[in-house]
Amino acid sequence: METLTAFFFLFLTLGFILIFSLSTKPQEKTQTKPSSNPTSYPLIGSILSFNKNRHRLLQWYTDLLRLSPSQTITVDLLFNRRTIVTANPENVEHILKTNFSNFPKGKPFTDLLGDLLGGGIFNSDGELWSSQRKLASHEFTMRSLKEFTFEILREEVENRLVPVLSSAADYDGGRTVDLQEILKRFAFDIVCKVSLGWDPDCLDLTRPVPALVEAFDVAAAISARRATEPVHAVWKLKRLLNVGSERRLREAIKTVHVSVSEIIRAKKKSLALGGDVCDKKDLLSRFLAAGHGEEAVRDSVISFIMAGRDTTSAAMTWLFWLLSENVNVEDKILEEVRNKEALGFEDLREMSYTKACLCEAMRLYPPVAWDSKHAANDDVLPDGTRVRKGDKVTYFPYGMGRMEKVWGQDWDEFKPNRWFEEKPSTGPVLKSVSSFKFPVFQAGPRVCIGKEMAFTQMKYVVGSVLSRFEIIPVSKNRPVFVPLLTAHMAGGLKVKIKRREH
Ligand code: HEM
């Protein structure tokens, strides 16, 4: 009864505000160059335009940012904090580096993922974040972790990925497979083995996916959808009442937490008994050895799985599709891996053209399309945009990759050569491009910790797959980019696999 009354009053108040707002003229915009901001009314702000465009926010923001002289817009939403979205590299540098301490993720962000990620590195600020960052950064520079990761990668590619693709190729008439799904399963195996020392064996397509993997998918998707609710009170109320998607989320999170805790307990037991060398190389063992408590370690490793699971697969899926449209580019990658059956660690260093292709694919289709911080105090961005304490400040890699001002008139072309510069002594070499112009891995003190690991993985997979197989998309239509927490291709990438003739 109390809930019904609360809903009734909420409904009445919203109705009153809406009628009042629509009978009033649109507000003067607060920014210096107002023309590019969405139409805003008193009290309700831009909620009407936002709602109209909420299923195409990427395109809407990108269009507005193109119109903005400083590539920054401000969106006011009823009952929600003001959102500033920027595609301006100087602003990005200010937010992510120069005034880093004023732009934490903030409670509104950490609330969204807090039930799943707790205080893990991906979802914390201040001291809680910085102590985990120090430990993880140290481990990521260790040769032993790099070698361990490369060994896992080699095994997973040679013993699982290649056989799965071979069997699709050898099937009479060629079987259609979803390459995105295969790469997601592949990446999940890798990140679980590196983070937990546990093998979910997702690439065995004959078995159902393990409960942990399914629960992770559900939990990540529902947590990400919380962010797209125009009124956050809605998901909070659903959580309070434990109904609908919030009920499913609670169940999925319970499965994730229980499964990871079981793995941790088994690991502790094995370490106490001495364990073998391999037992001690994963991140979980390293974090336990550093003396962290069970819950802190659980949150940390879940953060790593979250951060590393769908990102590389998203980037590679888009690259494989782009290559199918740009055969001359594919030929150049093939030149780089010619005569190399199994790639070694050193071979990867030399694959600069493949790296350029990956960067170019991520410029157009970034695995993390946008990312937000919350201002701790008032501030002014380099382009003059005023920031108020509590504002949500979003840097927007998807939009940045599409700005003529950032990438030139040919921004919409897939051109890996733009990542090279000509040196008289050596010929073309990879350019050093500012990470604030290309913040696909974020930038500054919170830059993605797995960046190098991600490039190692992606170069190895792209080289190993292309040197053996032709990837032929079944549909000729342009795929649709969907930005959840990690972006993906709507409906997957359905392809036929053909063995490459040498
Ligand atoms: C193409 C692949 C990848 C891309 C594009 C990418 C991108 C990003 C981005 C944009 C962030 C910042 C997110 C935020 O703060 O909200 C981030 C953070 C992070 N990434 Fe990655 N990532 C990739 C792969 C990986 C891999 C393979 C791992 C490790 C297994 C990893 C581990 C992390 C961690 C731990 C953080 C949090 C860092 C911190 O907050 O200090 N990432 N990544």
Enumerate domains of the chain plus CATH numbers.
123-499 (1.10.630.10)
Per DSSP, 123 falls in state G
State residue 208's pLDDT score: 85
Q: What span, in angstroms and rounded, lies between the C-alpha atoms of 412 and 402?
A: 7
In the predicted model, residues of the chain with pLDDT beneath 70 are 1-35, 41-45, 78-80, 230, 275-279, 341
Contact 46, 38 (CB under 8 A): yes
Residues lining ligand 1, Cβ inside 6 A: 121-122, 133, 191, 303-304, 307-308, 311-312, 315, 367-368, 371, 440-442, 446, 448-450, 453-454
Mean per-residue pLDDT over the chain, rounded:
89
State residue 27's pLDDT score: 44
Neighbours of 210 (CB within 10 A): 17
Query: What burial class does residue 327 get, using C-beta atoms within 10 Å of its C-beta: 0-12 exposed, 13-18 middle, 19+ buried?
Result: exposed
Q: Are strands 481-483 and 487-489 parallel, antiparallel or unpaired?
A: antiparallel
For a mutational test of ligand 1's pocket, the pick from 97, 184, 448, i.e. the residue with the most ligand atoms closer than 8 A to its C-beta, is 448
For a mutational test of ligand 1's pocket, the pick from 125, 152, 311, i.e. the residue with the most ligand atoms closer than 8 A to its C-beta, is 311
Q: What span, in angstroms and rounded, lies between the C-alpha atoms of 342 and 363?
A: 29
Token reading at 280: 């001690």
Neighbours of 138 (CB within 10 A): 12
Q: Ligand 1 centre from 26 Cα, in Å?
A: 40
Q: Ligand 1 centre from 269 Cα, in Å?
A: 30
- Rounded (10°) angle between helices 352-364 and 327-337: 140
Closest atom of ligand 1 to 446 CA is: 41
Query: What burial class does residue 111 get, using C-beta atoms within 10 Å of its C-beta: 0-12 exposed, 13-18 middle, 19+ buried?
Result: middle
Q: Ligand 1 centre from 499 Cα, in Å?
A: 34
Q: Which residues contact 176 (CB under 8 A, 6 or more apart)?
A: 474, 494, 495, 496
- Tens-place pLDDT, residues 390-421: 999 999 999 999 999 999 999 999 999 999 99
CA 369 to each of CA 54, 116, 485: distance values in angstroms, whole numbers, following the listed order: 15, 21, 8
Residue 448 labeled ligand binder: yes
Q: Which helix (H) or strand (E) holds 411?
A: none
Give the predicted TM-score (pTM) of the model: 0.90
State residue 417's pLDDT score: 97
